[in-house]
């Protein structure tokens, strides 16, 4: 009996190969999805081939980015959208990117706590991910997590970004539809949108529409859009929608606008253009990450170049090309 008990315990605690785990992901098993995302976050080499296969099995999901400055109410809005999509029978995936904990390096789980009630019915999968120091509003493994949810049959997949203001434009390289959320009465919010986020929005939403300041924020955004704030090369005109995530007022309007934008992308051919841009950015980003990882793992290989550049015997561009194995003259190529 003891031998049997030990055998069962060992089996229960055994590591499931990622190739086997991927089969359960394709079957939509939440535990397998959670484990595969964890392996993507950890950067496990053993999971690389399984993640690659899951990418090949996806490509059907509508990916929606929710961004905006801190305090705008992004998490509350996502919770309201989860309920709306669930009521329509959709299987919703959510990746909520949080600032890294200064102690553990993990995500600060406020987003997951706020969304847990909305996901309790089982029609949504919510995952918080830590940025782990990565700038731009997304975690390094965010897109791999999206791949896992896509392969598992979730659509839409909502990415809620950190909320870092004008630098948070990396979501463009991850989502098909970008919703920028503003809060009424925040002058800095409008300034941040002026500085960088205005151009990336497919839909503008203004939270807390029951506040008197909301109409002024809506008017300000409409005025800026009238001056040419929409995306270049697109026939889509970004709407500005006041919403209340708490009462649910006009959340249906936002849901319809998201669906209309998705239909527009497919009908106009812009979806293919966006998909190519996403893929191009992913390839370049992965190449950069692999390059950095190589020399982080073997810092001694970098030191001769660091010394040469420090001593002004070599300039940084020549050193970088040497690391890449490029022999061409950097100033003529």
- Successive 10-residue mean pLDDT values, the chain, 333 residues: 43 82 96 95 91 95 89 87 92 82 44 57 79 49 93 95 57 86 69 64 89 84 75 81 87 96 96 92 84 85 92 92 73 44
Cα–Cα distance, 184 to 174 (Å, whole number):
27
Residues 185, 211: contact at Cβ < 8 Å?
yes
Half-sphere exposure of 214 (CA within 13 A, CB side): 16
Q: What is the model's pLDDT at position 129? A: 81
Residue indicated by tokens 């120091």: 133
Residue indicated by tokens 């889509």: 236
pTM: 0.83
Assign 3-state DSSP to the chain and report helix, strand, coil percentages, each to 5. 55, 10, 35
Q: Closest Cα partner for 43 from 132, 109, 127?
A: 132
Q: What is the model's pLDDT at position 182? A: 86
Q: Cβ of 41: how many Cβ atoms within 10 Å?
A: 20
Residues 231, 192: contact at Cβ < 8 Å?
no
Q: Cβ of 131: how many Cβ atoms within 10 Å?
A: 21
Residues 83, 51: contact at Cβ < 8 Å?
no
Token readout for 62 is 């509508």
Q: What is the model's pLDDT at position 195? A: 53
Q: What is the model's pLDDT at position 212? A: 82
CB-count exposure of residue 187 (10 Å: 0-12, 13-18, 19+): exposed
Residues 98, 110: contact at Cβ < 8 Å?
yes
């Amino acid at each position: 009996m003891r031998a049997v008990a030990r055998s069962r315990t060992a089996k229960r605690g055994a590591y499931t190969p990622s190739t086997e785990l991927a089969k359960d992901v394709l079957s939509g098993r939440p535990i397998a999805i959670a484990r595969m995302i964890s392996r993507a976050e950890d950067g496990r080499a053993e999971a690389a081939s399984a993640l690659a296969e899951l990418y090949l099995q996806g490509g059907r999901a509508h990916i929606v980015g929710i961004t905006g400055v801190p305090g705008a109410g992004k998490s509350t809005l996502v919770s309201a959208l989860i309920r709306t999509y669930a009521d329509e029978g959709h299987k919703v995936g959510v990746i909520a990117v949080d600032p890294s904990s200064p102690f553990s390096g993990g995500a600060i789980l406020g987003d997951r706590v706020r969304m847990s009630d909305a996901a309790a019915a089982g029609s949504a999968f919510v995952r918080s991910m830590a940025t782990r120091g990565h700038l731009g509003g997304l975690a390094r493994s965010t897109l791999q997590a999206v791949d896992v949810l896509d392969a598992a049959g979730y659509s839409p997949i909502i990415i809620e970004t950190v909320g870092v203001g004008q630098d948070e434009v990396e979501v463009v390289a991850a989502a098909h539809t970008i919703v920028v959320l503003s809060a009424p009465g925040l002058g800095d919010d409008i300034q941040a949108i002026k500085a960088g986020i205005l151009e990336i929005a497919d839909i503008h939403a203004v939270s807390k529409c029951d506040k008197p300041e909301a109409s002024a924020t809506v008017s300000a955004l409409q005025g800026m859009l009238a001056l040419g704030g929409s995306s270049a090369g697109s026939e889509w005109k970004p709407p500005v929608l006041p919403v209340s995530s708490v009462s649910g007022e006009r959340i249906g309007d936002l849901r319809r606008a998201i669906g209309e934008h998705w239909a527009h992308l497919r009908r106009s051919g812009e979806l293919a253009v966006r998909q190519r841009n996403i893929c191009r950015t992913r390839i370049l980003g992965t190449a950069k990450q692999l390059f950095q990882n190589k020399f982080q793992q073997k810092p001694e290989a970098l030191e001769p170049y660091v010394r040469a550049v420090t001593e002004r015997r070599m300039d940084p561009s020549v050193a970088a090309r040497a690391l890449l194995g490029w022999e061409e003259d950097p100033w003529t190529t």
